[in-house]
Amino acid sequence: MDRKPGEESRRSPGSRPMAVAAAFGSDAQIAEARALARSFLADLTAVHGVAVSERVLHVVQLVVSELVTNARKYAPGPCLLTIQAREGAVEVIVRDSGSSLPTVREPDPGRVGQHGLEIVMAACRSFEMRREPQGKLVRAAVALDDAEPRRER
């Protein structure tokens, strides 16, 4: 996979990518963030032999899209997206410079829009958000095992 400026990859001892990271500075780059996720998952299968189902592929792209969109919409400056394979899951981590934590709204089928985090939380094994010295971190883990039950929040 070709790396873009500002994009990093961490490698395991066998020189195999286990994580990728890239900074995104505009809303137009959200499609690029999803493409980075697809490429990482393809490498996970091709290089590591890790089975990645269609469900995982689609859920990870959805999570990347929602978290990067929120960071771009609600925080000043660029955001840093990290995608890594760890402990039977694909973790999507977004850091941005905003200090306000996202508001997770209660499900409301009558509400138009603002369902992104609600969907992310329902689809993921775990979800975390916290303030950091320079902004915030939002992390969601998508189980690689399709049979794994979702955890309660």
CB 92 within 8 A of CB 83: yes
Higher-pLDDT residue of 86 and 152 is: 86
Residue 134 lies in a domain: yes
Residue 69 lies in a domain: yes
Mean pLDDT value of segment 7-29: 67
pLDDT recorded at residue 147: 66
pLDDT recorded at residue 116: 85
Higher-pLDDT residue of 147 and 145 is: 145
Mean pLDDT of the chain: 85
Residue 153 lies in a domain: no
Residue 151 lies in a domain: no
pTM: 0.83
Give percent of the chain with pLDDT exceeding 90: 61
Amino acid at 49: G
pLDDT at residue 5 tops 50: no
**Length of the chain in terms of residues written:** 153
Residue 8 lies in a domain: no
Which residues have CB under 8 Å from 124's CB, separation 6+?
59, 63, 140, 141, 142, 143, 150
Domain that holds residue 136: 17-143
Q: How many domains does the chain have?
A: 1
For residue range 74-133, what is the model confidence (pLDDT) as tens digits?
Answer: 898 899 999 999 999 999 999 999 999 988 888 778 878 777 888 899 999 999 999 999
Strands 8-11 and 135-143, sheet pairing: unpaired
Residue 11 lies in a domain: no
What CATH number should be reported for the domain holding residue 24?
Answer: 3.30.565.10
